[in-house]
Amino acid sequence: MVVKEFSGKGIVIKIDHDKCTGCGECVKNCPADVYELVDGKSVAKRVEDCVECCICVSACPVNAIEHSSC
Ligand code: SF4
Ligand code: SF4
């Protein structure tokens, strides 16, 4: 299982790269522009900009995102 962990400002975002299909919903829906697709997988490049709205968690159709505040 490949789970990538990203942290900053006390927030931890884990993205399961086995589940991630690269659909881009997290990239498109995050109001703080935290996510980017790299080689077809989501990475949380800017965790420090996160406003803890939890939209990414509900936007992911395959439940690949785990967020410490959500
Ligand atoms: S919780 Fe909200 S601001 Fe934070 S990464 Fe998810 S969608 Fe973006
Ligand atoms: S919404 Fe989920 S499946 Fe789609 S790119 Fe983001 S993490 Fe991957």
With cut-offs at 50, 70 and 90, classify the pLDDT of residue 1.
confident
Can you give the CATH number for the domain in which 17 is found? 3.30.70.20
DSSP assignment, residue 34? -
3-8 and 41-44 beta bridge pairing: unpaired
Distance 21 CA to ligand 2 centre (A): 6
- Residue-wise pLDDT tens digits, 26-65: 999 999 999 999 999 999 999 999 999 999 999 999 999 9
Measuring from atom 3 of ligand 2, which residue has the nearest CA? 20
C-alpha to C-alpha distance for 8 and 21, rounded to whole angstroms: 24
The SS3 of residue 44 is strand
Residue with tokens 């697709």: 37
Q: pTM to 2 decimals?
A: 0.97
Structural domain tally of the chain? 1
CA 51 to chain centre: 13
The residue segments making up the domain with residue 34 are: 3-67
> In the predicted model, is pLDDT for residue 9 greater than 90?
yes
Q: Which ligand is nearest to the CA of 20?
A: 2
* Dihedral sign, Cα of residue 36, residue 28, residue 59, residue 32: positive
